[in-house]
Amino acid sequence: MILYNKLFYILKFLIFFLTGLVCVLVCLRTNQQNVPKTQEKPKLFRVAHVYGQSELVHKAVEYFAEQVEKESGGSIDVRFYPNGQLGKERETFEGLRLHSIDMMISGSSIIGWYIPEYAVVDVPFLFRDYDHIRKVWQGEIGTEMRRIMKERTGAEMLDLWFRGPRYLTASSKIIRSPEDLHGFKLRVPEFEIYLKSWQAFGANVTPIPVTDLLMALKFGVVDGQENPLATIYGNNLHEVQKYIMRTEHLLGIFVVCIDQSFRNRFTDQEQMIILNAVKKTTDWHNAELFAAEREYERKLQESGIGFIDVNREAFQHLARKKIPPLFENRWATNILNRINETKYLIK
C-alpha cells in the first residue's frame, strides 16, 4: 500500500511537470511567432545626372524611381543625385565606371568622348526628326555604338530620351545668320564636334561645363551659349540672357547608361524590374517632351526673353559644306550616308 501511494504521487508529479513543460514550450513558440521579423534592408540603386530638378529629365528619373519601388515592393530603393551633385558629366560617368553609382542620364557628349567615331550624331542639322534618331538607334548603327561603348568602358547604353532641339542664346546681340557670329564669344560643351561646328559657323568658342555656365554668362566670360529650352530654363540661364534664336540646329538626346556591375549586383528578377522601368520611363518621357517644350517656351517668354527667327538655311549650308571634311577620316566609314539612308531602310 505504501509503495502504491509513492508511485501514485510520483506519477502525479510527472503529469504536472510534463503539462507545465508543454505550456512553457507553447508560450515560447507563440512569443517567437509574435516577434516581428527583421526586415531586410532595401537594395540601393543610385541614379545621377547634371541637370536641373525642374527639367523633364529629372521628372522622368522620379517616375522611374516610382516604378521600380512599386514593382519591387520596396525591396529596391532608388536614390537620385541631380544638379551635378556627384561632379560634372565626365566625372559622373567615371563614377559610373567605378561603381559608385548604378545608372546615369548623360548627354550625348559621352559618345564623343569614348566612341568618337560616332560623334557624328552631334553634327548640326543631321537628323530630320526624332523618328529618324529612333531608327538609327534601333538599327545597325545603334547596335554598333552600344557594343563598342560596352567594350571600351564597361557601361551599357540602354536607351535614348529625347531632349528637345538646341537653341542659340545671347545676352545682348541678336543673331540671325552666321555672319552675325563674328566676334561672338560662345560657350559650347567640352566636346570637339561642338567646338569645330560653331567655329565653322564663325563664333569664338569656349568649352565650359554646364555646372559652371550660369556664372560664366553672368560675369561676361562668354556672350552666349546653345542648349535645349529645358536646360536654359532649368539652369536659370534666361536670367542672364536676353534672346533665344530659333536655330533648332540639333535634336538633342539623353543616353541612359548602367554600370557593368549591374548584372552581378542584382538578381534576375530585380534586373527585369529595373530594365522594364527604364523602358516604361523612356516611353513616358518621350511622350511628354513636346508638351514640355511648349511649356518651357511659354515660361521663357513670360520671363521677358525674346525668341528670334533666323536664317536656318544659311546655317545648314555651312554645316553640310564645312563640318564633314573636318572629321571624315575620323568618323566610322561612310557613317553620314548610312545615317541619311536609315530612314528609308528601316520600316
**Domains of the chain by residue range:** 43-345
**What pLDDT does 191 receive?**
84
**What pLDDT does 13 receive?**
44
Q: What residue ranges of the chain have pLDDT lower than 50?
A: 1-9, 11-28, 30-38, 345-347
**What pLDDT does 109 receive?**
87
Alpha-carbon distance of 49 to 247, in angstroms, equals 26
Nearest to 159 by CA among 48, 280, 339: 280
Nearest to 188 by CA among 136, 124, 238: 124
The cell numbers describing 263, all together, are 548584372
**What pLDDT does 256 receive?**
98
Q: Could you say which DSSP state residue 120 is in?
A: G
**What pLDDT does 60 receive?**
97
**What pLDDT does 12 receive?**
45
**What pLDDT does 190 receive?**
83
**What pLDDT does 39 receive?**
57
Q: Could you say which DSSP state residue 54 is in?
A: T
**What pLDDT does 343 receive?**
65
Q: Which CATH class is domain 43-345?
A: alpha beta
**What pLDDT does 202 receive?**
97
Q: Helix, strand or coil for residue 269? A: helix
